[in-house]
């Protein structure tokens, strides 16, 4: 039996995530979008590749939330993509309205699912979806930290001329300008990054990581990144459905860890079949802890205003 996954939003992130899931062979996907014909076109195109791919999953396109019944994980990618010159906060009002409607649809037809949030501004909307769904906090997860960590790892691999496979990166905080890359907890074949790069070079890489999303938006000219975001979402869906017990930087609800309470923010979390199995509390420097608390406060204030 294949797993059943719902993907809401058939745009670049949702469509590419659906492709990754279908091609994996272990998941059937319901691709849901208000633009029914657009979603069907992507689904038909994916279906037409199954003879070539072999053991591919099935994909169904719809605008009807009832089709999500039985989905184990639902990924929310619906909403506007960030455009050049637009901050994540600029997206908030429009995308908040979108995800409130999406959350209502999910809760009406598959209230047992784990929800993975990809829509930006990610941290604020993860808090909104947790509030609107009234789900246990373990079953609402935001994707941003893994994407940021992967970007950090890519930049490290280029700087050191090593394969990215050897790198394990850690980024906490908010998905945006208040992200906090952690060089002490980032390793290359087990060697801490702080032992491989000088402080000035580290500072440059940290800033490049923070700016990476905006850089891609500027280069594209229209729209935002989707290959890496869909890869991060795929990895997190897989960690949940396959009960991998994998530690992943994720936007999750904190109730006292790191001195943060009452808000979803990016921290290391162990993901498994129940969603968030555990939040891993790292030993942070006073400066790192202060930055994390500041990011959490910013997100919490925005979520409360919303």
Q: So what's the pLDDT on residue 82? A: 67
* Range 106-117 average pLDDT: 98
Q: So what's the pLDDT on residue 92? A: 86
Q: What residue spans in the chain does CATH classification 3.40.50.720 cover?
A: 3-143
Q: So what's the pLDDT on residue 305? A: 86
Q: So what's the pLDDT on residue 179? A: 96
**Which CATH topology does 3-143 take?**
Rossmann fold (3.40.50)
**Which CATH topology does 145-305 take?**
L-2-Hydroxyisocaproate Dehydrogenase; Chain A, domain 2 (3.90.110)
Annotated catalytic residues are 175
Q: So what's the pLDDT on residue 183? A: 95
Rounded Cα–Cα distance for residues 74 and 117 (Å): 9
Q: How confident is the model at residue 87 (pLDDT cuts 50, 70, 90)?
A: low
* Residue 111 burial (C-beta neighbours within 10 Å; 0-12, 13-18, 19+): exposed
Return the closest-CA partner of residue 285 out of 216, 164, 194, 156: 194
Calculate helix-pair angle for 227-241, 144-160, nearest 10 degrees.
120
Q: What residue spans in the chain does CATH classification 3.90.110.10 cover?
A: 145-305
Phi and psi torsions of 3, nearest 5°: -70, 160
Sequence-ordered list of residues with C-beta below 8 angstroms from that of 158, at least 6 positions apart, any chain: none
Structure tokens at 2: 């294949």
* Range 192-198 average pLDDT: 96
Q: Mind listing the pLDDT tens digit for each residue in 39-81?
A: 999 999 999 999 998 888 999 999 999 999 999 999 999 998 7
Q: So what's the pLDDT on residue 89? A: 66
Residue pair 35/61 in contact (Cβ under 8 Å)? The answer is no
Q: So what's the pLDDT on residue 88? A: 59
Q: Mind listing the pLDDT tens digit for each residue in 125-152?
A: 999 999 999 999 999 999 999 999 999 9
Sequence-ordered list of residues with C-beta below 8 angstroms from that of 58, at least 6 positions apart, any chain: 2, 22, 28, 29, 47
Rounded Cα–Cα distance for residues 102 and 105 (Å): 5
Q: How confident is the model at residue 222 (pLDDT cuts 50, 70, 90)?
A: confident
Phi and psi torsions of 140, nearest 5°: -130, 120
* H/E stretch holding 46: helix 36-47
């Amino acid at each position: 039996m294949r797993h059943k996954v719902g993907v809401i939003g058939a745009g670049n992130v949702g469509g590419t995530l659906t492709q990754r899931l279908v091609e994996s062979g272990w998941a059937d996907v319901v691709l849901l979008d208000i633009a029914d014909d657009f979603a069907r076109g992507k689904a038909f195109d994916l279906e037409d590749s199954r003879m070539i791919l072999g053991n591919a999953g099935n994909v169904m396109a719809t605008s009807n939330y009832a089709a999500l019944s039985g989905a184990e994980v639902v990924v929310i990618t619906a909403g506007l993509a960030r455009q050049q010159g637009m901050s994540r906060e600029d997206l908030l009002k429009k995308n908040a309205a979108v995800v409130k409607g999406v959350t209502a649809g999910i809760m009406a037809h598959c209230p047992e699912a784990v929800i993975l949030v990809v829509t930006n501004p990610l941290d604020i909307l993860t808090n909104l979806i947790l509030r609107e769904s009234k789900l246990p906090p373990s079953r609402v997860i935001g994707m941003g930290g893994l994407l940021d960590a992967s970007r950090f790892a890519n930049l490290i691999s280029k700087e050191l001329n090593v394969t990215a496979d050897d790198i394990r990166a850690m980024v906490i905080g908010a998905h945006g300008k208040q992200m906090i890359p952690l060089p002490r907890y980032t390793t290359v074949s087990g060697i801490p990054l702080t032992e491989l790069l000088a402080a000035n070079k580290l500072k440059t890489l940290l800033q490049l990581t923070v700016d990476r999303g905006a850089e891609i938006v500027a280069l594209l000219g229209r729209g935002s990144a989707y290959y890496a975001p869909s890869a991060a979402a795929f990895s997190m869906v897989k960690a949940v459905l396959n009960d991998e017990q994998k530690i992943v930087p994720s936007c999750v609800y904190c109730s006292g860890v790191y001195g943060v309470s009452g808000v979803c923010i990016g921290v290391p979390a162990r993901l498994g079949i129940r969603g968030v199995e555990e939040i891993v509390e790292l030993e942070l420097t006073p400066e790192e802890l202060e930055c994390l608390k500041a990011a959490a406060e910013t997100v919490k204030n925005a979520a409360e205003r919303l």
